[in-house]
Amino acid sequence: MSAPTAPPLRKALKRRAPGLRVEQELWASGRRIVVGIDEVGRGAWAGPLTIGAVVVPKDRRINKIRDSKMLTEREREALFDRIADWAEHWSIGHASPRECDELGMSDAQRLAARRALDGLGVEPDQVLIDGKWDFVGGGRTQMIVKGDATCLSIAAASILAKVTRDRMMRSEDEQFPAYDFAWNKGYPCPRHQQALRGLGPSAIHRRSWAWMDDIPWTGARRYVRPEAQGSLFD
């Protein structure tokens, strides 16, 4: 079955295409495997933290890739298989809700990134990260502010990560319909918060977060990590 055709780009997106300038400069300097990565789910109250990793080809392009936050769900879904077929390598890494609680969000993000990079099956020469924080390390990273909007590798990774996590949360909605995960994807919204006040957290909620202190009548207690002994990644 062929991948669905992405809808025509809305006018507001036509002049906001991410480019290959950074990748081309790195290729020209001898870095052969350049990986763009991006995360989704860091601010959610439930579900995994998810990171996508993508190696784009040097000689082939596909249209309509944008930062996943700029696209509708339909547009992202239509692009997912197109990107997966086009990419030289791609992978998704997750940190579970329990790992987010037990490790803390910073180490959970490092863990998900490591899983995504390990899943590529190739050793990166350079890793491109959206933002100002290096959660990969190893002396091979380059941070790009607004990279998901300007760098093609990162933008492609943002779509694969977002669609994968959204599909997982829609599946979880079948197990936990009261929380409306199919719509909110684990992020706070009035119906989600109302369900928490009445039912307490589900099995996929992050129980170390401050909102747990606002639902004491459900009998659920906030998870408190033992005193930190240092990062697993130090």
Residue 66 half-sphere exposure toward CB, CA atoms < 13 A: 22
- φ, ψ dihedrals at 25, nearest 5°: -65, -40
Whole-angstrom Cα distance, residue 225 to residue 104? 8
Over its length of 234 residues, how does the chain's per-residue pLDDT go in tens digits? 455 666 666 655 656 789 999 999 999 999 999 999 999 999 999 999 999 999 999 998 888 898 899 999 999 999 999 999 999 999 999 999 999 999 999 999 999 999 999 999 999 999 999 999 999 999 999 999 999 999 999 999 999 999 999 999 999 999 999 999 999 999 999 999 999 999 999 999 999 999 999 888 788 889 998 865 556 665
**In the numeric block, which tokens belong to residue 210?**
């401050």
Q: Looking at residue 234, what is its pLDDT?
A: 57
Q: Looking at residue 98, what is its pLDDT?
A: 97
Number of Cβ within 10 Å of residue 22's Cβ equals 21
Judge: domain 16-171, CATH 3.30.420.10.
yes
Residue boundaries of the structural domains of the chain:
16-171, 174-212
Strands (E), the chain: 34-40, 49-55, 89-95, 126-130, 141-144
Q: What is the 3-state secondary structure (H, E, C) of 166-216?
A: HHHHHHHHHHCHHHCHHHHCCCCCHHHHHHHHHHCCCCCECCCCHHHHHCH
The pTM for the full model equals 0.91
